[in-house]
Amino acid sequence: MWTPESWKRKAIKQLPNYDTKKLSDVEQRILNYPSLVALKEVEELKQELKRVAIGKAFILQGGDCAETFREFNESSIIDTFNVLIKMAMVLTFVGDKDIVRIGRFAGQFAKPRSSDFEVQGDVKLPSYRGDMINDIEFEPGKREPQPKRILQAYFQSAATLNLLRANNIIPSYFLTEILQSIHDYALTVEDKNVRDELINKSLKGRNIVSNDETNSDGIRMKGRGVPFYTSHEALNLYYEQSLLRADQKERSIYCSSAHYLWVGDRTRFTESAHIEFVSGIANPIGIKCGPSAYVDEIISLIKKVNPDNEVGKMSLIIRMGKDMIREKLPELIKRIVNSNLNVIWICDPMHGNTKTHDNGLKTRYLDDIKGEIQAFFEICKQQNCYPGGIHLEMTGKHVTECIGGSDTYDLSEKYETSCDPRLNGKQSSELAFFVCQLLKQA
């Protein structure tokens, strides 16, 4: 039977060994802290995901690979959020789809690692596991897991959410800029009807923005601003467990750390503690599927996490790499569809396409990323299922971590990530226009 602690009796991977007394102090404090997200918002997201499941909307999920304490400031949060909004608007205007915006932020502080230790010269220290767990600096002591970092992650998540809730009006100048980029794109479209329609739409949009005197600050959508949701990998289960909250009628338990949680590729297996934990909560859940995913195992995980086969509850986030996806995904879709399991298919074109550059830095090529998304759309079409969304690692800052797009640079110019390479704002926006073409054909 599931209980908030039943995961502790399962196979635990990727969690640190904490000092139990210090950990328990932190857990007790967070248990009494406010929820980070409102349970009714989680329900709202579930309604939106039902629309995705039937092909009426598309998920745009994106943000940092890892949030950090070091880079916690207003502009980096707002810049990333604005790029997400821009992409969503492009996908709505050009791709003709309603977009469900889900950030990888306000909780994305713990990282799974392929190796428990890092060796530099003759020094061997525990691997960095995200700012919620230990310090990235390669110094003895700094890599020890410290429970008090969990508190800092909680407060940083709360402040991030506060900022986004307060600033979720799209400013007029920014709207105009987005509409201009849609207009510029329209001019490159060959089909005259499509081109004219897009130009009209962007001009109409610009008129609304410039004539709307009652709303000179910008556009506030649907009463509470631009709806957005938060998500992260449910990795540090001590943190996640402390944020479990029952709804008023005590009929369901939610994890109030984020609206949407996913289980990573390294922690999703039969008997895994992470799968056990998410199987008891009412939030929508994603499971990452890399090239090593066994179809039978994935099917049994889906049945465990979504026993009632609720529409929109379960998504599979495919991250196989641009070549492996063609080999592995068709069979996975076929078997899951034949088993009548309700699943939203999401493409993460980042994690299967990481390469090491000649200079030793980890990078990703925009062309590989596009290649995997294109393969994903093609396979979904062949298998007659709906491509429900994309999952990206991106930032609003002008970093030089991925290669490709209109700018050329040296990776080392502004390589700032604490973990995986992210698309910068320009690359993200280029990718949005690319995805529009695929959405139109889907």
Q: Which spans of this chain sit near ligand PEP (rule: CB under 6 A)?
A: 65, 112, 233, 264-266, 288, 319, 351
In the chain, what are the helix, strand and coil shares in percent, each to the nearest 5? 40, 15, 40
Query: Is the CB of 114 or the CB of 384 nearer to Co ion?
Result: 114
Query: Is the CB of 37 or the CB of 318 nearer to ligand PEP?
Result: 318
- Token pair listed for 272: 């895994």
Cβ proximity of 241 and 269 under 8 Å: no
Beta bridge partners of 344: 315
Cβ proximity of 96 and 201 under 8 Å: no
The one of ligand PEP, Co ion, none whose footprint includes residue 313, by CB under 5 to 8 A per kind, is none
Query: Is the CB of 65 or the CB of 209 nearer to Co ion?
Result: 65
Question: Minimal distance in Å, beta carbon 200 to ligand PEP?
Answer: 39
The one of ligand PEP, Co ion, none whose footprint includes residue 112, by CB under 5 to 8 A per kind, is ligand PEP
Residue at shortest CB range from ligand PEP: 264
Question: Minimal distance in Å, beta carbon 69 to Co ion?
Answer: 18
What is the CA 40 to chain-centroid distance, rounded?
A: 20
- Token pair listed for 273: 């503690």
The one of Co ion, ligand PEP, none whose footprint includes residue 87, by CB under 5 to 8 A per kind, is none
Residue 238 DSSP SS3 = helix
Burial (CB < 10 A; 0-12, 13-18, 19+), residue 67, is buried
Query: Is the CB of 265 or the CB of 430 nearer to ligand PEP?
Result: 265
The one of Co ion, ligand PEP, none whose footprint includes residue 67, by CB under 5 to 8 A per kind, is none
Query: Is the CB of 202 or the CB of 230 nearer to ligand PEP?
Result: 230
The one of Co ion, ligand PEP, none whose footprint includes residue 319, by CB under 5 to 8 A per kind, is ligand PEP
The helices-and-strands tally (H runs, E runs) of the chain is 12, 16
Tell me the residue type at 118.
Answer: E
Residue 33 DSSP SS3 = coil
Question: Minimal distance in Å, beta carbon 349 to Co ion?
Answer: 12
Beta bridge partners of 394: 423
Beta bridge partners of 62: 103, 392
Question: Minimal distance in Å, beta carbon 432 to ligand PEP?
Answer: 20
d(CA 343, CA 316): 7
Query: Is the CB of 420 or the CB of 430 nearer to Co ion?
Result: 420
The one of ligand PEP, Co ion, none whose footprint includes residue 430, by CB under 5 to 8 A per kind, is none
